């Protein structure tokens, strides 16, 4: 099985006629995703290949069942796109856009949450359930259908870890990139809870990085509520103190968010922490007794 998406998921693409939106919409279709519509204001009635384009999410909903929207629009339009999808009641909103202002995301988080919907991102690669559905920009060919869940703050590290899992015969149930910004819609803990409840997931890989305290909260959740084995990797351990490393959220402030604190929290929860990404498959096999 999988979490959040499967082979029945109907997807729309906001920003489908733009450079990035059109490229990745075509890639998602090629990888087996059911894209039922695209949305670009003022371009209703056009088509992207066989994908009908509508001027609003609401117009698309009048013609199609919409389970998920994926947003490929510039930062200055992203808040409007998120709120439009939320106003239309789309259950899962995935925002790929990078460079969104933090204060806008504070408001967007509250806006989506109060409507009982789920937001993943921004500044994320999306998610994939191999053999079922891919939404976002993850490279499909490195994935393999299986029973290992993957949650990551880093897109490229996700790909490296997934590749190592796949070549070691460990397929994935669902892989989710949650995004590297300071304010994101869905956290490690949110997804650990879903993976714990998913009968198709045997173990979970958590890929964290310096900055923030989300990994520490995830470790506490694992310690208290997870019955399935979890393996972790923390990037940025060699980052100079006070220096941002890559992602907007990857900065240590006030002594919090250090890699040492994150590793210690996971180890205290009984989670094996890999020193290098290619160690993860061996640690997971040992944890699962395979």
Active-site amino acid positions: 247
Report the alpha-carbon distance of residue 178 to residue 188 in Å, rounded: 8
CA dihedral 77, 183, 3, 234 (to 10 degrees): 130
Non-local CB neighbours of 116 within 8 Å, separated by 6+ positions = none
* Total length of the chain: 290
User: Which 3-state string (H, E, C) describes 170-231?
Assistant: CCEEEEEECCCCCCCCCCHHHHHHHHHHCCCCCEEEEEEECCCCHHHHHHHHHHHHCCCCEE
Q: At what angle do helices 75-87 and 102-114 cross, to 10 degrees?
A: 10
Report the alpha-carbon distance of residue 7 to residue 22 in Å, rounded: 21
DSSP state of 136: E
Q: How far is CA 191 from CA 4, 29, 87, 178, 194, in A?
A: 9, 25, 24, 9, 5
Report the alpha-carbon distance of residue 16 to residue 23 in Å, rounded: 8
Q: At what angle do helices 188-197 and 214-225 cross, to 10 degrees?
A: 30
Report the alpha-carbon distance of residue 281 to residue 169 in Å, rounded: 9
Bond into 139 cis (ω within 30): no
């Amino acid at each position: 099985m999988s979490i959040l998406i499967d082979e029945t998921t109907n997807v729309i693409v906001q920003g489908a006629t733009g450079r990035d939106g059109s490229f990745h919409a075509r890639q998602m279709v090629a990888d087996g995703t059911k894209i039922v519509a695209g949305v670009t204001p003022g371009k209703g009635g056009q088509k992207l290949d066989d994908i009908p384009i509508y001027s609003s999410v609401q117009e698309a909903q009048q013609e199609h069942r919409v389970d998920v929207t994926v947003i490929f629009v510039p930062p200055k339009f992203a808040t409007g796109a998120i709120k439009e999808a939320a106003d239309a009641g789309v259950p899962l909103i995935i925002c790929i856009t990078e460079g969104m202002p933090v204060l806008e995301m504070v408001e967007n988080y509250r806006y989506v949450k109060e409507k009982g919907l789920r937001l993943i991102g921004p500044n994320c690669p999306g998610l994939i359930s191999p053999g079922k559905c891919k939404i976002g920009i993850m490279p499909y060919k490195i994935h393999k259908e299986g029973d290992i869940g993957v949650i990551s703050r880093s897109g490229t590290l996700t790909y490296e870890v997934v590749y190592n899992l796949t070549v070691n015969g460990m397929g994935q149930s669902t892989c989710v990139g949650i995004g590297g910004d300071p304010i994101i819609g869905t956290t490690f803990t949110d997804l650990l809870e879903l993976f714990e409840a998913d009968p198709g997931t045997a173990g979970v890989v958590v890929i964290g990085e310096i900055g923030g305290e989300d990994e520490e909260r995830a470790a506490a959740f694992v310690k208290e509520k997870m019955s399935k084995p979890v393996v972790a990797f923390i990037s940025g351990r060699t980052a100079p103190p006070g220096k941002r490393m890559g992602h907007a959220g990857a900065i240590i402030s006030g002594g919090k968010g250090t890699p040492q604190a994150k590793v210690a929290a996971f180890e205290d929860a009984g989670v094996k922490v890999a020193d290098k990404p290619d160690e993860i498959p061996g640690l997971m096999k040992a944890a699962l007794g395979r």
